[in-house]
Amino acid sequence: MLGGCAALEGQDLSDELVSNEGVTAIANSRLNDDFMTGRATLSVTVVDGLATLYGTVPDEATRQRAIQILENSPGVFEVLDRTRRR
């Protein structure tokens, strides 16, 4: 689903405007690669710095970890949580 996202991970994003698709790919990759959030059913879309988090989480700790990952992702300035608990 997100093949090739790892290639974007190491790039310096500060030198150029990054597309919504590129920021979304990096954010999804970070969620999928994390030990805690990688086991949850999550996805994110980013439009103009607003990341909207969708999916199902097993507990509040996983939800908070996902939000923290997104808040620390390049190109994300705000996170809108649309997740649900299992």
Question: What is the DSSP secondary-structure string of 11-41?
Answer: S-GGGSPPPHHHHHHHHHHHHHHSTTGGGSE
Query: Is 57 a domain residue?
Result: yes
Q: Residue 86's pLDDT band (boundaries 50, 70, 90)?
A: confident
Instruction: Read off the CATH number of the domain in which 57 is found.
Output: 3.30.1340.30
* Paired tokens of 15: 């030198």
Query: Is 12 a domain residue?
Result: no
Q: Mean pLDDT across the chain, nearest whole number?
A: 87
Q: Which domain holds residue 80?
A: 18-85
* Paired tokens of 69: 């990952």
Averaged pLDDT for residues 3-31: 71
Residue 16 in this model has a pLDDT that exceeds 70: no
The predicted-structure confidence for 44-73, as pLDDT tens digits, reads as follows 999 999 999 999 999 999 999 999 999 999
Contact 75, 18 (CB under 8 A): yes
Query: Is 10 a domain residue?
Result: no
Those residues whose C-beta lies under 8 Å from the C-beta of residue 20, and which sit 6 or more positions away, are 45, 46, 47, 48
Query: Is 6 a domain residue?
Result: no
